[in-house]
Structure 1
Amino acid sequence: MARAVAAGIFQINTAKDTPDHRQKLHNTRQRILQLVKDTSAKLKALSESDHDSRVNPSKKIEDAKLARDFQNTLQEFQKVQQLAAERESGYAPSGPPPSATTSGSDEQVASRVDQEYQPFLMDQRRQEVVLLDNEVAFNEAMIDERDQGIREVEDQIGQANEIFRDLAVLVHEQGVVIDDIQSNIENSAAATKQAKVQLVKASKSTKSRSSWCWWLLAIFVVAVIIFLLVLIL
């Protein structure tokens, strides 16, 4: 959607720049901004729920990755908004056509024109004045439209920047959570490894003590047998 907006922005101040095009572009930017607001609110809700210790660590990691992806997308939208502001501010309406002045040669020609053509000349000049007034009014309207478009884009940029700052804090907090999870996983793995080592040592120690017990028992039995043989003999 951001690419479509960018393509539309590049048509500003071209032959395809019409009031309908401007309105469609405005509506599209508004929809994107609303989606940004809704998505940001949902990510905040997810982040708050992830603070619960009962939440699966894998879900916390997935939510953090989602927030980072959304942050990258929002950066692209901010670039598009900045481009829109530059294109809007770069508009310069064409100046009014030069006023119809009467040169000396025109006066000479007019003096030679029969009186019956004078009403037509006056009517033509009145039409030129009307066209000039219309041109000035059109340029003023276009300047007002440009200023309004700039104000709208600046307002959208401000809202997007505010959301981006909140999102940056959110991503940072989730990054801390992920670091804690990874630290706990590493500590658990280290503890598990150490426990295995201790079990192996304990097993070897138990086997060693058991072996010595059997040897002592065998020696004791042999000693008893020898003692009995001595008594009998």
Structure 2
Amino acid sequence: METSYQGGVSYDDAGRNFQRQSQTIASNINKISQNVSSMSKMVNQLQTPQDSQELRNQLRQIQNYTQKLAKDTSLLLMDLMKMPTDQPANKLSRDRLSEEYMATLNAFQATQRSAAQKTKEDVKKVKAQSVNIGDPFALGGNKDLVEMGDAGVRKQEQLTMQSERSLQELEERERDIRQLENDITDVNQIFKDLGQMIHAQGVVVDSIESHVEYAADNVEAGRHQLHEAANYKNKLRKKKVYLAIILIIVISFILIIIFNH
């Protein structure tokens, strides 16, 4: 069976590429959706007795992985939109994937915002509890520490170590906030790029539809003109026949007169 080619690529190859790309995107969307579900559960555990540094580390890891997967999927989807969709089924598949990806990306960003908000609340709480960090005599002054002796010094050392851990935790969570805000900005850019691509695709579709409608109007107008031309040709033929008949009658009349004379 003969295979059609367009631009050096067979329609069969183009169709297989489209299907392969679609399957990859669908798989990525499913992974992102599962990760968002896991992230949502982790975010709900923040600021609860289940909260821990290990939980926050896991949340950070899955967030970073999902962010990268979202960027890769966005590029794949934009490539898919550039592929020809001669078959209606391919266009429906592409539109469905776009809608599913947008919805999944929206859920991912909502989870990111929730995590960022809770982390900001944690930072405020840590700062409020660390007002006296860096003041070794904040709990009663030098006189009290001297009177308390070694026990007071040891207690102050413990408080100082606790304050240092709080500072490290504060810095780490502030880094998490900055990273989340950057990731949210990246997701906003993905939304923008995809929105422009989808809008451009819609313009192309509208343009194609308008050209089809214009071509249909031209066909109808041409058919109408052909019909008028045919009518005009028939009328002209009838006029010629009538003129010929009249001419024959006139000639016949003249010949009768001549023969009579």
TM range (shorter): 0.5 to 0.7
TM-score, length-scaled by structure 1? 0.63
- Match of residue 99 from structure 1: 139
Is the aligned partner of 1:35 residue 2:35? no
Indicate conservation of the 8 Å contact 1:61/1:178, yes or no: no
Is the aligned partner of 1:154 residue 2:185? no
- In 1, Cα distance between equivalents of 2:209 and 2:94: 13
- Match of residue 49 from structure 1: 83
- In 1, Cα distance between equivalents of 2:55 and 2:214: 59
SS in 2 for 1:22: helix
- In 1, Cα distance between equivalents of 2:208 and 2:87: 7
Unaligned stretches of 5+ in structure 2?
Answer: 1-32, 133-137, 225-261
- In 2, Cα distance between equivalents of 1:136 and 1:153: 25
Q: 1:189 to 1:35 in 2, by over 3 A?
A: farther
- Match of residue 116 from structure 2: 85
- In 2, Cα distance between equivalents of 1:103 and 1:126: 12
Amino acid corresponding to residue 116 of structure 2 in structure 1: A
Q: Give the C-alpha shift of residue 10 in structure 1.
A: 2.2
Unaligned stretches of 5+ in structure 1?
Answer: 111-120, 198-233
- In 2, Cα distance between equivalents of 1:29 and 1:57: 37
- In 2, Cα distance between equivalents of 1:61 and 1:134: 62
Greater Rg by CA = 1
- Match of residue 190 from structure 2: 163
Identity %: 24
Q: Give the C-alpha shift of residue 177 in structure 1.
A: 3.2
Indicate conservation of the 8 Å contact 1:99/1:132, yes or no: no
Is the aligned partner of 1:58 residue 2:61? no
SS in 2 for 1:30: helix
- Match of residue 145 from structure 1: 172
- RMSD, matched Cα: 4.6
Q: Deviations over 1:61-119 (max 9, x none)?
A: 23541453112221222222111211111111272698367999xx8xx9xxxxxxxxx
Amino acid corresponding to residue 98 of structure 2 in structure 1: R
- In 2, Cα distance between equivalents of 1:83 and 1:182: 43
Indicate conservation of the 8 Å contact 2:80/2:94, yes or no: no
Structure of greater relative contact order (alpha carbons < 8 Å, 6+ residues apart): 1
Indicate conservation of the 8 Å contact 1:67/1:171, yes or no: no
- In 2, Cα distance between equivalents of 1:39 and 1:192: 43
Indicate conservation of the 8 Å contact 2:77/2:98, yes or no: no
